[in-house]
């Protein structure tokens, strides 16, 4: 992320799907949130959704390039490049982009994932043309200032120390992905290994720009106090003249099927242990997406969810249990994180999680749970659509990862096709022991001697 | 979690602004009704997505926690949904989840809050659940035990992340364990002292209709919802609640520094400042304008110096957290262990520069545009609006905070900015808190304050007095 104070919108897992009684609702919503699209002559895709409830605009530009397009030695370059996109182009030199944008009432941020790099602008309507000028300047004529590269290297190293090295979840998550993937490029962290952060060069940045930043590799979503005509006219003026070139080469490597559990341990000073479990699942546009989302809702959403009731409420062995599934172009992993209570061995949380997963493999979920999951997805849909910013991110995420923003409004049909048997099927397909990677963090404080075996300090509670 | 509470309190700092666009931003019209039992009800109709948000504010927060039982207000709020006369905690969870709704409750320093959200079609069920939690909680002993145990572990887990706890240490050290220096979520020691009787007593004393504001915003019919609230909350028996008293704590004099030793950290996290302003401070808009230039946006003086120009950190900020009584002002950043002294020197130099150079006309104009341009998305959703009108009612503010923002922001002159810098941005009297690796930084930080204190991150609590 470029900045941390305006990071209201984190990369949202593609799980907010419209679900309701019938397709009438889907049509209503397609009408309530009318999207107009256009593909510019250079191949750049534009989506506009006017909304005049506040005098502001949210613009999200998705470039289909992320850490999956990287190579060993320059891991993290996509994210570093994201930072450099704020550090000077032909018209708006180093520092100018932010100064001009803020002086005109706008703000910006960006996020990078394994699959995409997304630039976000939030601004009053009065700044609309300026923002197009700024965006076109950096897509067309980004420049690289050697001094800026060095200071930004320090910024990203600090970001890594804060968000990865300084957080138990960050440390463990990084190790988990590096173990769950042995072939595919999802294996390294988005922010990059520290030694790569320290060593990439100006030529690496130039190569990355040439690879990922063709207009034809971008999808821009504009939501808010604009008209479609106004946006398309600005696109013609500022973006359409920018020539396109080849998209990034395809990521050909396919992660081979995992054929046995993998385990890893991290020992570091910590107050509490932590456990993360990753299961390989299909990419976002796979038909299983819908069944998997409903199943995850039943397992993890709210205090009535199966995992909360079991681990937090009944057994009282964890503070929380939550899943994470980011949108992905390629088969990815869903990561379950459990925070054990003090004195509880992570293995005890693991065992409870496996038992609950076995239950949904063995028996169909109840009618009540099934209906609850649909109701929750409907409410979550509205929650994501209630702000212009959330809507821009959601529309863009659907368009990029599902291949068509209209899938957002087709979801009713797709969800209604899911049966309880489908939930059982996906549970059996994905949540088996051979398909999982387990990472545990064992607290090892300076005063305690190096432990060879994880100590199992079970607490007295049942 | 503490971090969330900190962020919630951050909302009090919403910038005051309007817009340069054709549309003028206004808070939608809303209605205030006081029921016979004294409950203040605020109703704001807003079309858009079919969602209803309710924000309940009880006029007693962590400030009234008994000494040594920090966290009592927070635990009381957290237990509202954990068992009522007609529902177990599990039934409550099943009912709220079934409609895709949410119910959360917690305590800030000044007040306790509960917020509920549900779809318009589920409005009857939503109000049924909300009133059940607020009027009929039973605080079952097993749920009390569970929540306390979880909260104690929650404090420990948060100490594994320096950024999650540094402001708890800072406020504790700045306020010397009094007033806003008491952790709203309690600590490992205070939570152990909380008994069910204290929780019941807290609830009986402070959760009364006359002590409560209930704000509803979203897609609903006000007349219908008013009747619904009278039917559900009208039966809440009136009784007086004692007024809240705040500890009188004056700003810190001189310089003092607390180092919290965290042996595994590769960065030093630091914060420094003093206690400054209240929510209703007449200078509040001017403070916002000056702080935008100084430390609350990407191109701020602090971030330009510590991040953009030097690469010392991922971010450097300053913020005010105003309350009923003066809340803290803080400058915050983090940097690798070896550059701790350099980053602190630079932050202090920028603060000095603010005092000596003041603001240029260009900086002032830019900050005004920025505030006005960025404000509207902060009053976009019904959840934001319910919270806003409830807190306005509590602090005695009104819609002019939003509706008159154009004028108020534009009225800040360079002369006013200069006065505000002198009055509200501390320069000589500073309290520092650092979370870092003592063996790496202890020597170089000696110069920043005469009084130096030190503790371990593994030690319970946030303030020495908690031991």
Q: What pLDDT score was predicted for residue A28?
A: 59
Report yes or no: A447 at the B interface, CB cutoff 8 Å: no
Report d(CA A174, CA A27) in Å as an integer.
Answer: 42
Residues of B in contact with A56 (CB under 8 A): 19, 21, 373, 376-377
CB A142, CB A212: distance < 8 Å? no
Most confident of A1-15, A144-158, B407-421: B407-421
How many Cβ atoms from other residues are within 10 Å of residue A322's Cβ?
A: 15
Nearest-by-CA chain B residue for A315: B146
B266, B307, B315 ranked by CB distance to A165: nearest: B266
The average pLDDT across A385-397 equals: 96
Q: Between chains, do B336 and A389 touch, taking CB under 8 Å as contact? A: no
Report yes or no: A382 at the B interface, CB cutoff 8 Å: yes
Nearest-by-CA chain B residue for A447: B263
b/e sequence A87-125, b meaning 16+ C-beta within 10 Å: bbbeebebbbbbebbbbbbbbbbbbbbbbbbbbbbbbbb
Residues of A in contact with B376 (CB under 8 A): 54-56, 124
Nearest-by-CA chain B residue for A96: B299
How many Cβ atoms from other residues are within 10 Å of residue B207's Cβ?
A: 22
Distance between A156 CA and the closest CA of chain B, angstroms: 7
The average pLDDT across A203-231 equals: 96
Q: What pLDDT score was predicted for residue A452?
A: 42
Question: Residue A10 above 90 pLDDT?
Answer: no
- Residue B358: DSSP 8-state: -
Task: Tell how strand B212-218 and strand B40-45 pair up.
Answer: parallel
Q: What pLDDT score was predicted for residue B48?
A: 87
Residues in chain B: 467
Report yes or no: B10 at the A interface, CB cutoff 8 Å: no
Q: What is the mean pLDDT of chain A?
A: 90
Task: Tell how strand B267-275 and strand B430-436 pair up.
Answer: antiparallel
Report yes or no: B370 at the A interface, CB cutoff 8 Å: yes
In a mutagenesis test of the A interface, which of B45, B105, B298, B438 is the best target, namely the one with the most A β-carbons within 10 Å?
B298
Residues of B in contact with A312 (CB under 8 A): 150
A168, A305, A375 ranked by CB distance to B100: nearest: A375
Nearest-by-CA chain B residue for A152: B311
The average pLDDT across A15-29 equals: 41
In a mutagenesis test of the A interface, which of B46, B100, B267, B376 is the best target, namely the one with the most A β-carbons within 10 Å?
B100
Bridge partners (DSSP) listed for residue B117: B53, B102
Report yes or no: B335 at the A interface, CB cutoff 8 Å: yes
Question: Residue A22 above 70 pLDDT?
Answer: no
Q: Between chains, do A54 and B380 touch, taking CB under 8 Å as contact? A: yes
Report yes or no: B156 at the A interface, CB cutoff 8 Å: yes
List pLDDT tens digits, range B27-86: 999 999 999 999 999 999 998 899 999 999 999 999 999 999 999 999 999 999 999 999
Q: What pLDDT score was predicted for residue A389?
A: 97
Report yes or no: B439 at the A interface, CB cutoff 8 Å: no
B23, B307, B382 ranked by CB distance to A55: nearest: B23
Report d(CA B186, CA B207) in Å as an integer.
Answer: 20
Report yes or no: B94 at the A interface, CB cutoff 8 Å: yes
Report yes or no: A210 at the B interface, CB cutoff 8 Å: no
Report ipTM for this prediction: 0.92
Q: What pLDDT score was predicted for residue A413?
A: 75
CB A270, CB A443: distance < 8 Å? yes
Report yes or no: B313 at the A interface, CB cutoff 8 Å: yes
Nearest-by-CA chain A residue for B120: A379
Whose tokens are 């869903």? That residue is A334
> DSSP labels for B16-72?
P---SSSSPP-PPPEEEEE-TTS-EEEEEE--SSSEEEEEEEES--GGGSPTT-TTH
Q: What pLDDT score was predicted for residue A3?
A: 65
List pLDDT tens digits, range A275-314: 999 999 999 999 999 999 999 999 999 999 999 999 999 9
Q: Please classify residue B155 by burial: count the beta carbons closer than 10 Å to its beta carbon, then call 0-12 exposed, 13-18 middle and 19+ buried.
A: buried
Residues of A in contact with B311 (CB under 8 A): 150-155, 158
CB A334, CB A325: distance < 8 Å? yes
Whose tokens are 């550090």? That residue is A87
Question: Residue A202 above 50 pLDDT?
Answer: yes
Report d(CA B244, CA B211) in Å as an integer.
Answer: 11
CB pairs A-B closer than 8 Å:
214
Q: Between chains, do B156 and A158 touch, taking CB under 8 Å as contact? A: no
Report yes or no: B235 at the A interface, CB cutoff 8 Å: no
C-alpha distances in angstroms, B121 versus B48, B142, B160? Answer: 14, 34, 42
CA-based torsion, B444, A153, A139, A56: positive or negative: negative
A125, A162, A387 ranked by CB distance to B334: nearest: A162
Q: What pLDDT score was predicted for residue A415?
A: 77
The average pLDDT across A146-171 equals: 93
Q: What pLDDT score was predicted for residue A32?
A: 76
Report d(CA B239, CA A308) in Å as an integer.
Answer: 37
Q: What pLDDT score was predicted for residue A8?
A: 30
Nearest-by-CA chain A residue for B332: A5
Q: What pLDDT score was predicted for residue A409?
A: 83
Question: Residue A138 above 90 pLDDT?
Answer: yes
Residues 250-269 of A with CB under 8 A from B: 268-269
Report d(CA B45, CA B226) in Å as an integer.
Answer: 12
**Residues 6 or more apart from A331 whose CB is under 8 A from it?**
A184, A254, A255, A280, A281, A282, A283
Residues of A in contact with B21 (CB under 8 A): 55-56, 124-126, 225
Question: Residue A13 above 50 pLDDT?
Answer: no
A98, A168, A382 ranked by CB distance to B160: nearest: A168
A54, A95, A165 ranked by CB distance to B308: nearest: A95
Helix axes A288-300, A367-385, angle to 10 degrees: 100
Residues of B in contact with A54 (CB under 8 A): 23, 25, 376-377, 379-380
Q: Between chains, do A319 and B150 touch, taking CB under 8 Å as contact? A: yes
Distance between A195 CA and the closest CA of chain B, angstroms: 15
Nearest-by-CA chain A residue for B307: A155
List pLDDT tens digits, range B285-328: 999 999 999 999 999 999 999 999 999 999 999 999 999 999 99
In a mutagenesis test of the B interface, which of A304, A337, A342 is the best target, namely the one with the most B β-carbons within 10 Å?
A304
The model's confidence at residue A7, banded by pLDDT at 50, 70 and 90, is very low
Q: What pLDDT score was predicted for residue B172?
A: 96
More reliable by pLDDT, A410 or B240:
B240
List pLDDT tens digits, range A160-183: 999 999 999 999 999 999 999 999
Q: Between chains, do B21 and A55 touch, taking CB under 8 Å as contact? A: yes
Q: What pLDDT score was predicted for residue A29?
A: 64
Report yes or no: A168 at the B interface, CB cutoff 8 Å: yes
Nearest-by-CA chain B residue for A121: B374
Q: What pLDDT score was predicted for residue A447?
A: 62
Report yes or no: A52 at the B interface, CB cutoff 8 Å: yes
Question: Which pair of tokens denotes residue A276?
Answer: 């993360």
Q: φ and ψ at B112, to 5 degrees?
A: -105, 150
Q: Between chains, do B370 and A103 touch, taking CB under 8 Å as contact? A: yes
Nearest-by-CA chain B residue for A57: B377
Residues of A in contact with B160 (CB under 8 A): 167-168, 270-272
Report yes or no: A270 at the B interface, CB cutoff 8 Å: yes
Q: What pLDDT score was predicted for residue B464?
A: 76
Q: What secondary structure, in 3-state letters, does chain A show? A: CCCCCCCCCCCCCCCCCCCCCCHHHHHHHHHHCCCEEEECCCCCEEEEEECCCCCEEEEEEEECCCHHHCCCCCCCHHHHHHHHCCCCECCCCCCHHHHHHHHCCCEEEEEECCCCEEEEEEEEHHHHHHHHHHHHHHHHHECCCHHHHHHHHHHHHHHHHHHHHCCHHHHHHHHHHHHHCCCCHHHCCCCCCHHHHHHCCHHHHHHHHHHHCCHHHEEEEEEECCCHHHHHHHHHHHCCCCCCCCCCCCCCCCCCCCCCCEEEEEEECCCCCEEEEEEEECCCCCCHHHHHHHHHHHHHCCCCCHHHHHHHHHCCCEEEEEEECCCCCCCEEEEEEEEECCCCCHHHHHHHHHHHHHHHHHCCCCHHHHHHHHHHHHHHHHHHHCCHHHHHHHHHHHHHHHCCCCHHHHHHHHHHCCCHHHHHHHHHHHCCHHHEEEEEEEECCCCCCCCCCCCCCCCCCC
Residues of A in contact with B373 (CB under 8 A): 56, 104-107, 123-124, 126-127
CB B194, CB B73: distance < 8 Å? no
Q: One digit per residue, pLDDT tens: chain B, 467 residues? A: 222 222 222 323 333 333 334 457 899 999 999 999 999 999 999 988 999 999 999 999 999 999 999 999 999 999 999 999 999 999 999 999 999 999 999 999 999 999 999 999 999 999 999 999 999 999 999 999 999 999 999 999 999 999 999 999 999 999 999 999 999 999 999 999 999 999 999 999 999 999 999 999 999 999 999 999 999 999 999 999 998 987 777 899 999 999 999 999 999 999 999 999 999 999 999 999 999 999 999 999 999 999 999 999 999 999 999 999 999 999 999 999 999 999 999 999 999 999 999 999 999 999 999 999 999 999 999 999 999 999 999 999 999 999 999 899 999 999 999 999 999 999 999 999 999 999 999 999 999 999 999 999 999 999 875 43
In a mutagenesis test of the A interface, which of B4, B11, B165, B373 is the best target, namely the one with the most A β-carbons within 10 Å?
B373
Q: What pLDDT score was predicted for residue A30?
A: 65
Report yes or no: A309 at the B interface, CB cutoff 8 Å: yes
């Amino acid at each position: 992320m470029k900045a941390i104070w305006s990071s209201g919108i984190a990369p949202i897992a593609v799980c907010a799907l419209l679900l309701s009684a019938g397709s009438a609702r889907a049509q209503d919503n397609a009408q309530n949130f009318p999207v107009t699209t256009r593909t510019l002559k250079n191949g750049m895709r534009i989506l506009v959704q006017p909304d005049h409830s506040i005098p502001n605009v949210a613009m999200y530009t998705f470039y289909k390039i992320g850490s999956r397009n990287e190579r060993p030695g320059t891991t993290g370059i996509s994210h570093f490049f994201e930072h450099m996109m704020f550090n000077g182009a032909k018209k708006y030199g180093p520092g100018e982009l932010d100064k001009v944008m803020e002086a005109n009432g706008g703000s910006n941020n960006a996020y990078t994932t394994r699959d995409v790099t997304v630039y976000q602008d939030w601004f009053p309507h009065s700044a609309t043309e300026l923002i197009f000028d700024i965006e076109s300047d950096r897509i067309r004529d980004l420049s690289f200032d050697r001094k800026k590269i060095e200071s930004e290297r320090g910024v990203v190293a600090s970001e890594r120390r804060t968000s990865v090295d300084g957080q138990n979840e960050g440390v463990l998550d990084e190790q988990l992905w590096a173990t769950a993937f042995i072939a595919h490029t999802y294996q390294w962290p988005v922010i990059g290994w520290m030694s790569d952060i320290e060593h990439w060069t100006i030529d690496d940045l130039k190569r990355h720009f040439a690879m990922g930043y063709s207009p034809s590799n971008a999808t821009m979503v504009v939501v808010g106090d604009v008209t479609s005509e106004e946006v398309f006219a600005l696109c013609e003026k500022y973006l359409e003249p920018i020539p396109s070139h080849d998209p990034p080469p395809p990521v050909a490597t396919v992660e081979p099927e995992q054929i046995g559990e993998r385990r890893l341990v991290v020992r570091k000073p910590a107050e509490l242990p932590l456990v993360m479990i990753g299961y390989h699942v299909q990419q976002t546009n796979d038909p299983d997406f819908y069944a998997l989302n409903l199943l995850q809702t039943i397992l993890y959403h709210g205090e009535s969810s199966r995992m909360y009731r079991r681990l937090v409420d009944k057994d009282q062995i964890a503070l929380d249990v939550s899943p994470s599934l980011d949108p992905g172009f390629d088969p990815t992993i869903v990561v379950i994180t459990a925070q054990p209570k003090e004195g509880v061995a992570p293995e005890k949380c693991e065992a409870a999680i496996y038992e609950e997963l076995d239950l949904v493999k063995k028996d169909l979920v109840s009618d009540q749970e099934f209906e609850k999951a649909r109701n929750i997805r409907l409410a979550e849909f509205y929650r994501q659509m209630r702000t212009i910013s959330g809507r821009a991110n959601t529309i863009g995420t659907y368009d990029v990862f599902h291949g068509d923003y209209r899938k957002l409004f087709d979801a009713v049909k797709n969800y209604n096709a899911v049966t309880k048997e489908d939930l059982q099927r996906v549970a059996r397909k994905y949540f088996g022991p051979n398909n999982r990677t387990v990472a545990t963090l064992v607290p090892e404080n300076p005063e305690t001697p190096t432990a060879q075996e994880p100590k199992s300090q079970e607490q007295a509670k049942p | 979690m503490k971090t969330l509470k900190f962020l919630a309190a951050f909302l009090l700092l919403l910038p005051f602004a309007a817009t340069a666009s054709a549309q003028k931003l206004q808070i939608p019209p809303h209605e205030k009704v006081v029921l016979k039992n004294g409950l203040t009800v605020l109703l704001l109709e807003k079309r858009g997505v079919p969602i209803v948000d309710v924000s309940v504010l009880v006029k007693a927060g962590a400030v009234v926690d008994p000494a040594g039982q920090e966290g009592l207000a927070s635990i009381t709020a957290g237990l509202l949904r954990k068992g009522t006369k007609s529902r177990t905690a599990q039934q409550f969870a099943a009912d709220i989840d079934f409609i895709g709704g949410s119910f959360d409750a917690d305590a800030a320093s000044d007040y306790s809050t509960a917020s509920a959200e549900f779809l318009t079609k589920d409005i009857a069920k939503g109000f049924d659940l909300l009133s059940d939690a607020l009027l009929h909680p039973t605080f079952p002993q097993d749920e009390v035990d569970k929540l306390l145990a979880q909260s104690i572990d929650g404090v420990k887990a948060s100490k594994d992340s320096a950024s999650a706890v540094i402001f708890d240490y800072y406020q504790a050290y700045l306020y010397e364990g009094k007033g806003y220096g008491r952790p709203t979520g309690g600590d490992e020691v205070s939570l152990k002292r909380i008994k069910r009787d204290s929780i019941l007593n807290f609830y009986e004393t402070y959760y009364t209709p006359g002590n409560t504001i209930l704000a509803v915003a979203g897609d609903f019919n006000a007349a219908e919802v008013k009747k619904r609230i009278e039917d559900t909350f009208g039966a809440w028996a009136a009784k007086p609640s004692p007024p809240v008293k705040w500890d009188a704590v004056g700003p810190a004099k001189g310089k003092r520094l607390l180092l919290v030793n965290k042996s595994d950290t590769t960065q030093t996290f630091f914060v420094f400042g003093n206690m400054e302003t209240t929510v209703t401070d007449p200078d509040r808009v001017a403070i916002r304008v000056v702080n935008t230039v100084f430390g609350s946006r990407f191109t701020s003086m602090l971030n330009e110096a510590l991040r953009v120009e030097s690469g010392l950190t991922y971010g450097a900020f300053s913020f005010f957290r105003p309350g009923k009584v003066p809340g803290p002002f803080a400058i915050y950043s983090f940097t690798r262990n070896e550059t701790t002294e350099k980053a602190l020197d630079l932050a202090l130099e920028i603060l000095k520069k603010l005092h000596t150079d003041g603001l240029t006309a260009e900086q002032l104009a830019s900050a005004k545009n920025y505030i006005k341009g960025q404000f509207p998305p902060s009053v976009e959703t019904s959840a934001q609006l319910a919270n806003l009108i409830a807190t306005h009612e509590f602090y005695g503010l009104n819609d002019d905070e939003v509706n008159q923002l154009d004028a108020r922001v534009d009225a800040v002159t360079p002369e006013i900015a200069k006065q505000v810098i002198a009055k509200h941005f501390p320069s000589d009297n500073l309290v520092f808190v650092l979370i870092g690796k003592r063996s790496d930084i202890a020597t170089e930080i000696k110069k920043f304050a005469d009084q130096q204190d030190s503790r371990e991150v593994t030690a319970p609590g946030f303030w020495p007095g908690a031991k």
